[in-house]
Amino acid sequence: MRLILVDRSEEIRRNFYPIALSRPLWELRCGISSLGEKLIAKTDAGDAAYFVPDYMAEAHRAKVMHPVNDLSVLKGDDVLIVDPLVKAQDFNIATGGKSEVGIDQDGRILYARIIKRDLDGTAVNDVAGLLEAARRKFPNVPCTFRRWQYIWELILANPEQLIEDFAAVGRSGIEGTIEKPNVIRGSSKYVYIAPGAVVHPMVTIDTTDGPVYVDEGAEIQPFSRIEGPCYIGRRSVLLGVKCRGGNSIGPLCRVGGELEGSIIHGCSNKYHDGFIGHSYVGEWVNLGALTTNSDLKNDYSIVSVMLDGRRSICTGSQKVGSLIGDHAKTSIGTLLNTGSYLGAMAVIMATGKLLPKFIPSFAWFIEGIVTKGFGKKRLYETAQVVMGRRGCNWTAAEESMWEAVYAMTAEEREKAIKKGRRTLAANKE
Amino acid sequence: MATVEQRVRSITAKVLKLDPSEIRLEDNFTEDLGAESVQSIELVAMFEEEFGIEMDEDAALAVQTVGEAVEFITDVCREQDVNVEQ
């Protein structure tokens, strides 16, 4: 049985921007692992293949071992095509059995299980066509699996997911090094220190509200307080951090200051003091010293977020911090408002005032306005340097993907730049 | 209507907080007029707003002197069908 994850709808993908601008939806993280890793584990599929938006296919292909946008995977084996936004804990479809299609109450296909023999008799030009053919040809099974709808749901579900993932992984104990003196407050059975991980002296790990998983090669420096539930990724370094409950930190990050209820993808830096709470931070992000976000409004009202720069969407939660896209960079003293959207590749030079809630991708925010700044070429040059420092290459495929993102986000950026110019001109009068 | 040169001088003076009469065509924005990198970006934004044009940021930031800015903006205005006084 081959598991196939399909992410081709721009309308759905928009709800997960800015993080999904540069990756398929199943690479979003919640808890210890990504959504895709959870689905693969749940279905126990022997093989996997992916269908992603064309603009990121080449870049994604270079990162994964499995076929990407390859129609040949739709032949030769039984397939289980799954909506990557289905919550893995709900997904209880057996990999064996007759061909069938699972449909939710809105008529959306959540999965299609098609056995090889049926597949061979179905004309296939693209995966969407196959799904529609399957809907017509095979039994439609009503299903009520929950789906992720918006990116902030991943932030809000992170603590609970961390607890579930820790139980599912089933690891506990100290396989790395804990240097004394240190404190494990709460049960030590909820601590896992992986081989090669080092916990320096004077660190407190508190498991009273959930487990703490420190992955291989991670380093926790003195005066850090790690509250569970928490996951610290491979070779990440925590620098005297106040790590409140509910954080997932990806591999190769550097994190200091105060972090609460947040998800950080790999290779991002929040080295210095400053508070980041209930936020989702992409890859290759650098948050300057004292960068701080609000995650709670003064009147405790529900936080709204703008994903497209035009329309506010109610999150239904009192606590939502910032959404920060890949390669975004903030200067020292940046203040992010509650429910802020900071686009991918955006550069912030703070003025000391709260930022607008929506900063488009590739924007240079300078002197309180969105500008063209030094352009995208300079951003690419910086990305190349940043990635090189971690032994990663800025490839032609990567640049081609970002060119597409630049074009996709042009309208919202140009609108913000024009508004910025008007503001600047008025201020200079 | 003021000429392109007068308008460039006026914007430059506003952004860099100078007297327009002190600004010469041969002045280099950075070396002679003291423009910092952030002010270069402000100048580009202000010229775009003043003339109602869109400038390529790499090309615009490559402009060194006030005289080059006048020429560059005149060319962009011509390309983008914006009427200006020479």
Which residue of A372, A422, A425 is in closest CB contact with B44?
Answer: A372
B49·A422 Cβ contact <8 A: yes
**How close B46 comes to chain A (CA, Å)?**
6
What's the mean per-residue pLDDT of chain A?
95
Statement: residue A258 has pLDDT above 90? yes
Which residue of A375, A417, A425 is in closest CB contact with B46?
Answer: A425
Q: Given this model, what pLDDT does residue A429 score?
A: 79
B46·A366 Cβ contact <8 A: no
Residues A216 and A196: beta-carbon distance below 8 Å: yes
What's the mean per-residue pLDDT of chain B?
94
A332 band by pLDDT with thresholds 50, 70 and 90: very high
Residue of A nearest to B16 (CA): A428
B45·A428 Cβ contact <8 A: no
Which chain A residues have a beta carbon less than 8 Å from that of B47? none
A375·B46 Cβ contact <8 A: no
Give me the mean pLDDT over the A238-266 stretch: 98
Give me the mean pLDDT over the B54-58 stretch: 93
Model confidence over A84-136: pLDDT tens digits? 999 999 999 988 889 999 999 999 999 999 999 998 877 778 899 999 999 99
B9 band by pLDDT with thresholds 50, 70 and 90: very high
B84 band by pLDDT with thresholds 50, 70 and 90: confident
Taking residue A340's Cβ as centre, other Cβ atoms within 10 Å add up to: 25
Which chain B residues have a beta carbon less than 8 Å from that of A375? 56-58, 61
B73–chain A Cβ distance below 8 A for any pair: no
Residue of B nearest to A420 (CA): B45
Q: Given this model, what pLDDT does residue A405 score?
A: 98
Which chain B residues have a beta carbon less than 8 Å from that of A362? none
Ordered domains of chain A (ranges, CATH): 2-148 (3.90.550.10), 152-428 (2.160.10.10)
ipTM computed for the complex: 0.89
Model confidence over A399-420: pLDDT tens digits? 999 999 999 999 999 999 999 9
Q: Given this model, what pLDDT does residue A124 score?
A: 75
Give B27's contacts (C-beta < 8 A, 6+ positions apart): B33, B65, B66
Residue of A nearest to B15 (CA): A428
Residues A374 and B61: beta-carbon distance below 8 Å: yes
B46·A424 Cβ contact <8 A: yes
Model confidence over A206-232: pLDDT tens digits? 999 999 999 999 999 999 999 999 999
Give A395's contacts (C-beta < 8 A, 6+ positions apart): A59, A62
Which chain A residues have a beta carbon less than 8 Å from that of B57? 372-375
Count residue pairs from A and B with Cβ separation < 8 A: 45
Which residue of A375, A420, A425 is in closest CB contact with B58?
Answer: A375
Which chain A residues have a beta carbon less than 8 Å from that of B44? 371-372
- Residue A256, judged by CB atoms within 10 A of its CB (0-12, 13-18, 19+), counts as buried
B38·A349 Cβ contact <8 A: yes
A426–chain B Cβ distance below 8 A for any pair: no
Which chain B residues have a beta carbon less than 8 Å from that of A417? 45
A372–chain B Cβ distance below 8 A for any pair: yes
Statement: residue A275 has pLDDT above 80? yes
Q: Given this model, what pLDDT does residue A64 score?
A: 92
Q: With pLDDT > 70 as the criterion, what percentage of chain A qualifies?
A: 100
Which chain B residues have a beta carbon less than 8 Å from that of A371? 41-42, 44-45
Which residue of B14, B41, B61 is in closest CB contact with A366?
Answer: B41
Statement: residue B85 has pLDDT above 90? no
Which chain A residues have a beta carbon less than 8 Å from that of B14? 428
Which chain B residues have a beta carbon less than 8 Å from that of A374? 37, 41, 57, 61
Domain boundaries, chain B: 4-79
Pick the more confident residue, A429 or B81.
Answer: B81
Q: Given this model, what pLDDT does residue A170 score?
A: 96
**How close B86 comes to chain A (CA, Å)?**
23
Q: Given this model, what pLDDT does residue A83 score?
A: 96
Give me the mean pLDDT over the A306-315 stretch: 94
B10–chain A Cβ distance below 8 A for any pair: no
B46·A420 Cβ contact <8 A: no
pTM comes to 0.95
Model confidence over A152-211: pLDDT tens digits? 999 999 999 999 999 999 999 999 999 999 999 999 999 999 999 999 999 999 999 999
How far does Cα A80 stand from its chain's mean position? Answer: 24
**How close B26 comes to chain A (CA, Å)?**
24
What is the second-level CATH architecture of the domain B4-79?
Orthogonal Bundle (1.10)
Statement: residue B71 has pLDDT above 90? yes
Q: Given this model, what pLDDT does residue A47 score?
A: 87
Q: Given this model, what pLDDT does residue A75 score?
A: 87
Give me the mean pLDDT over the A276-283 stretch: 98
